[in-house]
């Protein structure tokens, strides 16, 4: 069985998520170049809707996030110690 320190595992997970995000961005940029007028209008609608949902969730969970981050900022622990293990 492979054994790895938690710190290293978090770094590896971050790199994997970064690569996945870059891959999705590349697919999106390629799709953007093939759009016509109607597709561009749909894209703008989706982006506006995504922003609206983001701000709605921000308003709903602002206090919860503030309390969770308050515990991290006040303590001298590293960020990854707050993750469930």
Tens digit of each residue's pLDDT (9 = 90 or more) over 5-61: 878 888 899 999 999 999 999 998 888 787 777 877 888 899 999 999 999 999 999
Residue 63 has pLDDT above 60, yes or no: yes
**pLDDT given for residue 68 in this prediction:** 74
**Whether residue 73 has pLDDT greater than 60:** no
How many whole angstroms separate alpha carbon 61 and alpha carbon 68? 11
Task: Label residues 61-76 b or e (16+ Cβ within 10 Å = b).
Answer: eeeeeeeeeeeeeeee
- Asked if pLDDT for residue 85 goes beyond 60, the answer is no
């Amino acid at each position: 069985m492979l054994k790895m320190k938690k710190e290293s595992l978090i770094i590896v997970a971050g790199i994997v998520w970064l690569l996945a995000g870059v891959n999705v961005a590349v697919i999106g940029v390629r799709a953007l170049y093939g759009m016509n007028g109607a597709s561009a209008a749909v894209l703008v609608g989706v982006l506006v809707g995504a922003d609206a949902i983001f701000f709605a969730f921000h308003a709903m969970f602002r206090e919860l996030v503030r309390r969770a981050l308050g515990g991290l900022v006040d303590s001298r622990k590293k960020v990854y110690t707050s993750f469930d293990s």
